């Protein structure tokens, strides 16, 4: 079978590299929506972070320990920033669904709570935006897309993981 032969030709390390790059690109693709406060983009970014964390764990032998540790820390910080907003989105949606078939007094109380949660969400969204505009996230975005080595001539993660920048750019149709 051709499909099986093609899959068998890909080594575990190649699969890991491709998986890391695809998940990384999927996270970065949600950035604009997350910056805009889009509920779905924030959710999708958070879900993809979980997937990349699992991939890092499952393919641990395919990436140096230092890289895995750094990526896990970056992913944890990004997930925390996203989670602060997403958790409030979930609470607000749950409360909105409770507005039907309630007395006027109960609706007023629930609506007041929703307004307070929206105020908190705005604060958490500002924190998320600051994180996404910060240096740590900028470093995360460069993680798999660095075209050249840094000034101290250490390898980029792309080079350590053996992913040529041109391949990623072709597959995803954009430069980092």
* 118 vs 85: CA distance, rounded Å: 10
- Contact criterion met (CB below 8 Å) for 86 and 126: no
pLDDT for 51-75, tens place per residue? 999 999 999 998 889 989 999 999 9
* 134 vs 85: CA distance, rounded Å: 17
Q: Which residues contact 117 (CB under 8 A, 6 or more apart)?
A: 88, 91, 92, 95
Write out the two tokens for 125.
Answer: 């969204």
- Contact criterion met (CB below 8 Å) for 59 and 162: no
Query: Residue 144: what pLDDT?
Result: 72
Taking 90 as the threshold, does the pLDDT of residue 112 lie above it?
Answer: yes
Average pLDDT, the chain: 83
CA 76 to chain centre: 10
Taking 70 as the threshold, does the pLDDT of residue 86 lie above it?
Answer: yes
Query: Residue 8: what pLDDT?
Result: 57
Taking 70 as the threshold, does the pLDDT of residue 156 lie above it?
Answer: no
Write out the two tokens for 122.
Answer: 């705005």
The confidence band for 171, taking pLDDT boundaries of 50, 70 and 90, is very low
């Amino acid at each position: 079978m051709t499909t099986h032969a093609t899959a068998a030709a890909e080594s575990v390390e190649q699969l890991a590299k491709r998986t890391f790059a695809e998940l990384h690109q999927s996270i970065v693709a949600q950035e604009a929506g997350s910056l805009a406060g889009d509920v779905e983009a924030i959710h999708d970014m958070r879900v993809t972070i979980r997937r990349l964390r699992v991939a890092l764990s499952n393919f641990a032998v395919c990436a140096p320990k230092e890289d895995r540790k750094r990526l896990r820390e970056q992913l944890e910080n990004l997930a925390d920033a996203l989670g602060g907003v997403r958790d409030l989105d979930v609470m607000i949606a749950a409360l909105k669904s409770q507005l039907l078939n309630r007395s006027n007094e109960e609706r007023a109380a629930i609506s007041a709570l929703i307004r307070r949660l929206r105020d908190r969400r705005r604060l958490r969204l500002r924190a998320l935006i600051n994180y996404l505009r910060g240096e740590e996230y900028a470093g995360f975005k460069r993680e798999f897309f660095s075209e050249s080595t840094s000034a101290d001539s250490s390898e980029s993660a792309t080079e350590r993981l053996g992913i040529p920048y041109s391949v990623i750019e072709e597959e995803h149709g954009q430069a980092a």
